A = this chain, B = another copy of it.
Amino acid sequence: MNPKPVIAIQGGPASFHDVVAQQYFAPTEIQSLPCMTFQRVFASVKNGESDFGVLAIENSLAGSILGNYSLLHDYPVSIIGEAYLPIEQNLLALPGQSVKDIRVVRSHPMALLQCSNFLEEHPHLQALEAADTAESAREIRENNLTGVAAVASRAAAARYGLDILEECIQNYKDNYTRFLIISRQAAKDLSTANKASVNFRLHHRSGELAKILDVFRDLNINLSLIQSIPIMSKPSEFTILLDLEWDNYEDFKAAIAKVEPMTVEIKILGIYKRGVK
């Protein structure tokens, strides 16, 4: 029997990255490899320490995590899949505590931001930023902290034996985060692929982007994301990132062949099957 595949995740056990890794590869059992930074996720996939990596790339509150696009551009890895995770945040504390007992709420800054309305409605709660949602829950359990709550997932409540004092406290019910699955090698079987992430640089001429979008439109390629990314070393220039979707893979191939000569540089970050929201 094969050993379990190793999946590098950003964050600790029971973090949202861990939940996505378990779900994406199910029913295959995996072994997750916690990494404290995104760069560590990329490095471990590159050097073979892990088989795949999982990384958040976009959330409906903060937008694209551009740093991860730089890493995708620089590391020899390929996107082989994506997953959307509805983000449900909960207020967790030791059993027996109630909301009025809590003075301090710890969590990742993004999680606190996602729950800003709840925190404003409960002005007696002081928000304190921490490195990870699930780690905030673990610390409450390990140090037996009363008066302290964490904002984290149900999975973190279950793992660390905490009660859910309030559920679904995020501002937007339909909040989700998009994750990418990366691998050293591009996906080989493209028969089910219907989406690609493409990064390109244009000659410094106005209107070129419109011409490229025309090519995609003429070939029935849909745009699901467009984003200019500043080039660090050339402050007045940018690259363009497009997420493209199609019904027929041949259309995508034809579009890329047509667009390639119109660009200075083009990099296909991955061709994959689109995730379900």
Residues of A within 8 A of B (CB): 37, 39, 58, 60-67, 109, 113, 116, 120, 128-131, 172, 174-176, 206-207, 209-211, 213-214, 216-217, 220, 222-230, 232-233, 235-236, 238, 240, 277
On whether the beta carbons of A206 and B226 are closer than 8 Å, the reply is no
Q: Which of B66, B109, B225, B233 contacts A174 (CB 8 A)?
A: B233
* Least CB distance, A73 to chain B, in whole angstroms: 14
A63, A207, A233, A236: residue with the most chain B Cβ atoms closer than 10 Å: A63
Classify the secondary structure of A's interface with B.
mixed
On whether the beta carbons of A226 and B214 are closer than 8 Å, the reply is no
Number of copies of this chain that the complex holds: 2
Q: Give A213 to B211 CA distance when docked, in angstroms.
A: 9
On whether the beta carbons of B113 and A232 are closer than 8 Å, the reply is no
* Least CB distance, A243 to chain B, in whole angstroms: 9
On whether the beta carbons of B235 and A223 are closer than 8 Å, the reply is no
List the B side residues contacting A172 at CB < 8 Å: 232
List the B side residues contacting A129 at CB < 8 Å: 109, 129-131
On whether the beta carbons of B217 and A206 are closer than 8 Å, the reply is yes
* Chain B residue at smallest Cβ distance from A277: B235
Q: Give A113 to B10 CA distance when docked, in angstroms.
A: 14
List the B side residues contacting A224 at CB < 8 Å: 228, 236, 238
On whether the beta carbons of B60 and A232 are closer than 8 Å, the reply is yes
* Least CB distance, A136 to chain B, in whole angstroms: 11
List the B side residues contacting A207 at CB < 8 Å: 213-214, 217
List the B side residues contacting A64 at CB < 8 Å: 63-64
List the B side residues contacting A226 at CB < 8 Å: 209, 226-228, 240
Q: Give A120 to B35 CA distance when docked, in angstroms.
A: 13
Q: Which of B213, B227, B232, B235 contacts A213 (CB 8 A)?
A: B213
On whether the beta carbons of A65 and B66 are closer than 8 Å, the reply is no
On whether the beta carbons of B228 and A227 are closer than 8 Å, the reply is yes
